[in-house]
Structure 1
Amino acid sequence: MTQRNTQSIHWDAEADLVVVGFGGAGAATSITAAEAGASVIMLDKAPEGQEGGNTRVAAQGYLNTSTPEGAATYLKALCGPYTVPDDMIQVWAKEMCLNNDWLKSIGGDPQEHQHGTHGTGIEFPELPGSDCVHKFHHGDILGYSKTWEMLAEAVKSRPIDIRYECPGQKLIQDPLTQEVLGVVGNHRGKKLNFKAKKGVVLTCGGFENNQEMIRNYLTGIPYCYTSGSPFNEGDGIRMAMELGADLWHMNNFAGPSMALKVPEYPTTFSMIALHFSHEPKGGMVVVGPDGKRFTDEKYKTRHGKVEQNGKWYAMRTPCPMYMIFDQAMFNDGPLYDGKPTHGWTQIMSGYRWSPDNKAELAKGWIKTAPTLAELTQKLNLPAGSLEGTVNRWNELCAKGRDDDFARDKMLQPFGSGPFYAVELSPSMLNTQGGPRRNARAQIVRPDGTPIPRLYSAGELGSIFSYLYQGTGNIGECFAFGRIAARNAVADKAWC
């Protein structure tokens, strides 16, 4: 019998599997394990009622590919120069075709997105294999749909022990065998040891709320704020690294976009003039720290990626950035659409933006000045920069085309003052990087060997290395959650 040094550990609770994170990946892992007869403890950082991670506040679509061959071809093309091992591509491609079957098996009602709803579905139609893409959601509502509610009910109707406000802090590893034996959780300041008799599965998302990790790993953005769950702070990455895990895809993320971030709220506000199909009246441009435009403000990105010279790169966001607009746009209605379709601020915070923008003006979220020269000074921009930018914009509007950045929406000139500004920050839904996993969903070391009894699923070390297909993250949560659960449950209990 293998000797293990566990005599000094006091276990506060035990189960076959300990799953860290109650989002889409944690739900798929826990449901699959419970269906196989395994006992499960699930730890989540959020208070009860705020669980769900990014799955809860995304548009809640998931990917179900039509053929494994097409899916493998498309994923290889998405990865581009950042290759992923072929066995990973093949297992992903096979499992992604089974998402609808799995959802049906737990009581779901898969409905395919209609053409033109939340995009046409295929994010990169020019890539080979793209015709395999099919985007689904549960139930009859797309956007803030019932997908998360169905998943949460499927978890809570099964014998799964959920511990809220109890983030995983440290993995417990046997020094002799290197096996992961459990997790140290922290419930309101009290440390608890959770024994995992068969394995630990990390499903606790990325690092989109860890500014130090953002500076270290994401290029081109000095800071970034999420529109997703504020509880994703890279805990799983840190815990896996402490055990020698390799990392991959750390420079890839679903962004950036541009949004308002204020101290009073943990996540960003999407400005309607930038992100929504409704086109407010009046003039609007976005400028960088030099007071000049740098992009098509009604940007056509593919989850933050823009094409440059035949390649795709993250959109440039020179900080600080300001959305500059005139009185006509200020008067046209609220700058923010709070309808709960997606995003933490919309769905969970539920902030009600004033219909005339005056409450936000009083809060200082919107700056104003009677002239562009005075607004320039208030924003500490170079003298004369805003006047030059607005004059140039008005000339382009008179011509009926944006010769500088090819913007084709809201081609309306600025009127007379007063003028307004909203500071914008880089924003994203999620990061893709984390501990590298293999085709069995095991977390591996730099030499490719697995750390025994340690698994992962979801955005914590996602398979997406370069380009990203919308709904792919939740689809991957389901697919690798099932893979992780099946392989962990099949392990022989160590005690």
Structure 2
Amino acid sequence: AALRKAIIDNTVEYPEFEGSEHHDILSVSLGFFDGALWKMLRQNVVDRSDKIDVWFSSPARHLIQDPATKTVIGVQIERDHVLRNIKANNGVVMATGGFENNPEMLEDYLGASKLVPLGTLYNKGDGIKMATEVGASLWHMNNYESLGMLHGLAFTVPTGKRGKLILGDWKAIYDGSVFLAGDDGTRYYPEDMTNRHGHVYSHGYWKVPQNNHHPHIIFDKKQYEKFADKETSIYPQAQDMIIEANTLEELAKKIGAVPEKLQEQVAEFNFFATEGKDYAFHRNPETMQAFDAEGPYYALSVSQTVLNTQGGPRRNARAEILSNDGTPIPHLYGAGELGGISAGRYQAGENIAECLIFGKIAGLNAARVKEEVFEHTAEEPDAVSSASQTEKKVNLGSDLDVKETYMVGANQYLGRSNAGVGNEVVVRITVDDDKKLKDIEILKQSETGIGAQAIESMPKEMISKNTYEVDSISGASATSRALKEAVKDAMNKI
């Protein structure tokens, strides 16, 4: 009960809103970031594999629309490098996510030159393109969510890579001789202010700050020691990312800032710290300490994050996608963050909730047998969706029907675990004649980010110590647990 109350209290992001006292949570596990909800939903699909076809690596390319009635009658997909027209007798549900990884859309709709994704790397706005092709109206295209340090930042990563989500009270980034500098080297944000999924308070409203292309955390030698303190550091790896310079002018040149502006900003910050009042951004003066008069000085490159976007095709309460004149596009439905209901702000858990709620509404309405029958002259379909009653022209099968077979040789054993964030982890171990670990092969896994690093590094330590009981990788506890369980399962068969 205490844990439940604590979670609720910490996830009510807008307690000032009417009705916030009714905020509640439902959880399928007591863990965090463990993929428990995904695993439960996936298992329900697997349990109904006789009724549901699942096609991996089969991206939708276009919706198929009757030219006369504007009814959506199917989807064109690409499977095994062949375009296939899939007929849908009763409806199509679009749940293709947002456009977090489409630079052109980020620039056009969010005015953001650079955002680091925290979630999937594959949401590129395909659903938005397909919906507009059939005349869908768009909404909430300028709203998105961030998460992470300060106002929603992560340490900079190469283009196309996922950022590391860092949560927790890390005082080194806001308490002391440290501030956040924008592209030109000047402050633009009160560093001790908390964010609400990337939205910060601004003159009576909560909004995501204007995106900077290459912001940096600026600090001096005193603050450097705080970043180097392994006992208080939330992310010790940041130590390897620190940029050092002997002077502020040199530091500005290294980070692409304007030297004069960075020097003036440090002088102004020192004045505020001495005066005991932040006249520019009203940061708590107790968290401000003047910079050292002489170098070295330091910087950490950070980037604005994007957890997910909200924009997409407009939908009504029946999950029907609407056309530009406000009427439903027949047989087309939407769910999830593709056209999410958040117009300007976001409440924690909202996208998951609307994914489940609108997913059910859309699914029920799409599966309902329609009274009207539309004749069309479009190209004949290659297949028909599972909900249809007509015979398939081409049997595309289901990827859930594919049985995975793994070979084992002498002194080799298979192990499995479903404890990770992704799908099943399967390993094959090889032992020597003394039954000691000689090799660990990862045959199947879908862990990403820091989890993928754990998959790569932990087997080496297991082999050297001849045990699955090794230290978990920080930030990848679920993946570490899955790998250890799989190796344990294999070793128990020796």
For residue 102 of structure 2, the aligned residue among 200, 203, 210 is 210
| 1:333 CA drift (Å) | 4.8
For residue 297 of structure 2, the aligned residue among 419, 437, 445 is 419
For residue 263 of structure 1, the aligned residue among 136, 158, 174 is 158
Whole-Å Cα distance in 2 between the matches of residues 400 and 118 of structure 1? 36
Whether the aligned pair in 2 keeps the contact of 1:335 and 1:357 (CA below 8 Å) is no
Whether the aligned pair in 1 keeps the contact of 2:184 and 2:256 (CA below 8 Å) is no
- Given the superposition, is the C-alpha separation of residues 191 and 261 from structure 1 closer, same or farther in structure 2, using an over 3 Å criterion? farther
Partner of 2:55: 163
For residue 230 of structure 1, the aligned residue among 121, 141, 145 is 121
Q: Is 1:278 aligned to 2:173, yes or no?
A: no
- Given the superposition, is the C-alpha separation of residues 290 and 457 from structure 1 closer, same or farther in structure 2, using an over 3 Å criterion? same
Two-structure CA RMSD over aligned residues (Å): 3.0
Partner of 2:278: 402
Partner of 1:133: 23
Alignment of structure 1 residues 162-181 onto 2, 5 Å: 162-181=54-73
- Given the superposition, is the C-alpha separation of residues 335 and 129 from structure 1 closer, same or farther in structure 2, using an over 3 Å criterion? farther
Counterpart code for 2:187:
R
Whether the aligned pair in 2 keeps the contact of 1:139 and 1:145 (CA below 8 Å) is no
Alignment of structure 1 residues 41-190 onto 2, 5 Å: 114-117=4-7, 120-144=10-34, 146-159=36-49, 160-187=52-79, 189-190=81-82
Whole-Å Cα distance in 1 between the matches of residues 225 and 48 of structure 2? 52
Whether the aligned pair in 2 keeps the contact of 1:257 and 1:427 (CA below 8 Å) is yes
Question: Paired residues, what number?
Answer: 362
Counterpart code for 1:322:
H
Whole-Å Cα distance in 2 between the matches of residues 463 and 131 of structure 1? 20
Whether the aligned pair in 1 keeps the contact of 2:144 and 2:309 (CA below 8 Å) is yes
Whether the aligned pair in 1 keeps the contact of 2:273 and 2:290 (CA below 8 Å) is yes
Counterpart code for 2:244:
T
| 1:397 CA drift (Å) | 3.5
- Given the superposition, is the C-alpha separation of residues 257 and 326 from structure 1 closer, same or farther in structure 2, using an over 3 Å criterion? same
| 1:433 CA drift (Å) | 1.0
Counterpart code for 1:249:
H
- Given the superposition, is the C-alpha separation of residues 420 and 136 from structure 1 closer, same or farther in structure 2, using an over 3 Å criterion? farther
Deviations 1:139-187 (A, max 9, x none): 1113445222222222222223222222211112223432222212223
Aligned to 1:197, the other structure's residue is in SS state coil
More contact order relative to length (CA 8 Å, sep ≥ 6): 1
Q: Is 1:314 aligned to 2:208, yes or no?
A: yes
| 1:257 CA drift (Å) | 2.4
Whether the aligned pair in 1 keeps the contact of 2:182 and 2:212 (CA below 8 Å) is yes
Partner of 2:261: 385
Deviations 1:196-231 (A, max 9, x none): 232111101111111111121124x33323211111
Aligned to 1:325, the other structure's residue is in SS state strand
Higher Rg: 2
Partner of 2:218: 324
Deviations 1:452-485 (A, max 9, x none): 2111101001111122111111001010000001
Partner of 2:333: 455
- Given the superposition, is the C-alpha separation of residues 137 and 167 from structure 1 closer, same or farther in structure 2, using an over 3 Å criterion? same
TM-score by length of 1: 0.66
Whole-Å Cα distance in 2 between the matches of residues 396 and 490 of structure 1? 65
| 1:385 CA drift (Å) | 2.4
Partner of 2:244: 368
Whether the aligned pair in 1 keeps the contact of 2:320 and 2:328 (CA below 8 Å) is yes
Whether the aligned pair in 2 keeps the contact of 1:259 and 1:427 (CA below 8 Å) is yes
For residue 138 of structure 2, the aligned residue among 212, 237, 247 is 247
Percent of aligned pairs with the same amino acid: 38
